[in-house]
Amino acid sequence: MNPLSKSRRRVAFVMLIFAALFLVFISRFLYLSTTKKFHGEDMLVYAEKKRWESQSTLSAERGEIFDRLGSPIAINIPSYHLVAIYRLGGVKDPDETVVDFKKTATGLAPILGMSVKELETYLIENKDRSQIEFGKKGNDLTVDQKEQIDRLKLPGIRLIEEPKRYYPNGIFLSDTLGFVQKITEDNGRVVLKGQMGIEKQYDEALRESFGSRVFEKDRSGGELVQGTSKISNEPKDGSNLYLTIDHRIQQALEKQMQKMYNEYKPKNATGIVMDAKTGEILAMTDRPSFNPNLRDMTDFTNFAVSSRFEPGSTMKIFTLAAAIDAGVFRPNEPYKSGSYNYKGTVIKDYNDVGWGTIPMIEGVYHSSNVMFSILTAEKLGIERYKDYFKKFHFDQKTGIDISGEVNSQSDLSKPLNTLITSWGQSTAVTPMQILQGATAIAGDGEMVKPHIIQKADHTDKAPYKAKTEVVGKPISAEAAKATREALDGVVNSKIGTGQMYKLKDYRVIGKTGTAQISENGKYIQGQFIHSFIGMAPKDDPELIMYIAVDRPSKNESSVSGPSIMSPVFKSVMNTALQYRSIKPATQKESVDVKAKIIPSYIGKSMNQAEEMAKEQGAVPVVLGDGVEVVSQIPTRGQEFVSGERVLFKTGRTFKMPDITGWSQRDVKKLVSLYDLKLDVIGKGFVTKQSARTGTLVKENGKLTVELAEPKE
């Protein structure tokens, strides 16, 4: 077939389609013109009905935001928009339009904050227009201003009601809460739209849905008094949100943070109070901040979730917890402080010289970089540290229900970076990641996810209520308790770096931090991010508080953090504990940095011995099926330190425990207690055991263990 024939066929096909469509159109037209019905309804009647029908909008309100106690945080109030009418239908009317400019200006000027002359000039300059507005001076007028204007009864002056968001507390959770802005839609309707923070993130849930009503109108367009009307679309208010925030604790935090900010003028600062058991955020604020009613912000960053930085020594609590959980932290083991050479890189303590040869537990109190380097490199091992880093979820976002969260930034592919990370440099994390990890130490080893939305009263679906979400268990309950015991001396010993955070009526534990700041691949000299993470009460923490201050402009030094931040922490934590109805406790004396003396447990029941050992800070290991302790190691009168294993013999036989990770010293305790014959292969910590876990072992039996140094 030649090209011309193909072209003719295409043209014929297209013409056929158009002809078919034309026939359908003509048929429909003839049907409508003949029957005069559309969807079974007479078109003339339908047209006449629509001619006298009109529609009005049924208003609805944006959802409001409250704290956990129902105290308002973001609410709706009416506001008014001022308009001056010069002509109605092109006609001036002394009773309905502005004619007397002097009288109008004299009445309105003091209410709008303008001079009479200025306002009169403005009215005269625009007299040829149909109507005018008054710019910023005539927007967002209050109810009081409206009532003042109404009393004047000025012809041609109209007040149009518009929605307005009001934040009754001013500077209050501002960087997290955000703000809304008035938006004029294509149909002229003014609505509120979230522009930042919770207001923006949950804008869809908070947003209202306007309704509509159809009514009969008269010739002037007004509604017929005796006419019919019906609602064609029901209006729906937006969902109300309830936050986990406690306004009393939030106000205390805002007050103290502002006081600190006014005095020290740091570049940035953040403070967060969290429920240790549920992950609920009870208070959170940044500095600098802003008043959402004024939107006078200079920084749009939510420091708690959107900024990551090298945290400094607050990171050491997780290294300590990991080492205790792995069974490699020996509190009373001596080490030489001051400096440590790791494969050619010299790591120093913050004072450069250290404190001589001291026990490792004192290294915790002193915040010794050298001790934590030895603990990571020689005891725990680089690879095992990396495993715990992931167990504490430092490699992922927390998933908190706040927008803008960033992840940590790390490079653990190099052993040196991992080692430095273990004491708080090299890796950048967020304050929220630190808080989430701390919940495992505050509790029984379980880590809970932080959240700030408590519930939502949805109007179109089932209400939402948040639940506590456990996101992992990086350490055991015993390790968590032993970590808290070890941290006690940071605040409550005479040599701890956190002594200034001590409270009179509550036992606080925690960890200080001072981090160098990296810019363009180099650390800035003489400027630091100071931080502190504390929890209370020590034995069963209810609250965790984190505070960080970035480069204060006054009293800046590597050791100035406690003097800057402790007044904030102490005031807010004390207030929060009281509001949470936590009973004050009589404080014990300061932590004794020396080893403890083991008592006798012989003759005690298994449960009594376990309870006593735990109270002493030891880790009890019960062997045998007897009802009471017949022998023990360490024996009565020997020294021991918090976190050390104490073995109890209750029978002549016992089921073999899993001793993976035990030190050779702990294995020798077991061998001595049951007169076992021991064969040791290698050195370091147990990786294999000849008797399987649960195997029945008798006195004078044989045990072979393989040991290995921690891997790098």
Annotated catalytic residues are: 313
Selection from 355, 380, 387 nearest residue 369 by Cα: 355
d(Cα 50, Cα 53) in Å, to the nearest integer? 5
d(Cα 134, Cα 84) in Å, to the nearest integer? 8
d(Cα 647, Cα 638) in Å, to the nearest integer? 13
Under 8 Å between Cβ of 86 and 72: no
Under 8 Å between Cβ of 192 and 182: yes
| CB-side neighbour CA atoms (13 Å) of 562 | 15
Selection from 131, 134, 144, 78 nearest residue 109 by Cα: 134
In this structure, the number of other CB atoms found within 10 A of the CB of residue 196 comes to 22
Under 8 Å between Cβ of 515 and 538: no
Q: CA distances (Å), 452 to each of 166, 282, 439, 440, in order?
A: 20, 8, 16, 19
- The DSSP result for 84-134, as a single string, is EE--BTTB--TTTS---HHHHHHHHHHHHT--HHHHHHHHHHTTTSSEEE-
Q: CA distances (Å), 383 to each of 34, 330, 340, 425, in order?
A: 88, 20, 20, 18
* Encoded tokens for 182: 């008035």
Nearest-10 Cα torsion for 253, 259, 260, 261 = 100
Residue entry with tokens 């409270």 = 503
